[in-house]
Structures are given as C-alpha cells and as structure tokens.
C-alpha cells in the first residue's frame, strides 16, 4: 500500500477529502485509520465512498465509543490495526 492516513483531528476533514480524492484519481492505494474525535468523520457522506475505495479504512473502537454516534459505517479496529496499516504503508500522513 502506498499511503496510510492517520487522522486524529476532525478539523482535518477538508484536507483528508482532498488527499483521498487525489489518491482515487491517481489510482494510488491508500488506507485510513481514524482515532480520537476524528472518528466522527466516518459519518461524513463525502468521505464514505472514499473510505470504501480504500484498501482498508477503520475507526478506533475505543474512540468510537467515546466520540461516535450509533452504528459506525466503516470497520472498527484497535491500535493494533493502526500499527498493522502503518507497517504496510510506504508513506504515512498524519492529520
């Protein structure tokens, strides 16, 4: 996988949208791990298709319990999943 996006700030949504759209246009393999308040981005209707187009997108289960609402539309994972995604990425972008 080329790029893993680690997102911990919900305010990063505009940047994340732009990066993921660019990856999709360029056919660059990417993954996303949402943690902290950024798990709320899993509910963003503009990001939903971009998460589905990723190699893997996940939200931290602990953070979802704290900051999420209802059913999470992407996979719930742990910091172990975060580490696994990081280990397989050529580049990591932290937002």
- Tens digit of each residue's pLDDT (9 = 90 or more) over 74-83: 999 999 999 9
**Distance between CA atoms of residues 88 and 30, nearest Å:** 10
What is the per-residue pLDDT for 20? 98
Structure pTM?
0.95
Pick the CATH number of 3-94 from 3.40.710.10, 3.30.70.1230, 3.40.1260.10, 3.40.50.10740: 3.40.1260.10
pLDDT-derived band of residue 69, with 50, 70 and 90 as boundaries?
confident
């Amino acid at each position: 996988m080329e790029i893993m996006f680690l997102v911990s700030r919900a305010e990063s949504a505009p940047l994340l949208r732009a990066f993921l759209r660019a990856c999709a246009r360029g056919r660059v393999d990417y993954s996303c791990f949402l943690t902290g308040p950024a798990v709320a981005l899993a509910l963003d209707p503009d990001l939903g298709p971009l998460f589905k187009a990723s190699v893997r997108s996940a939200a931290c289960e602990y953070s979802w319990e704290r900051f999420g609402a209802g059913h999470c539309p992407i996979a719930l994972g742990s910091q172990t999943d975060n580490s696994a995604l990081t280990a397989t990425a050529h580049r990591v972008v932290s937002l």
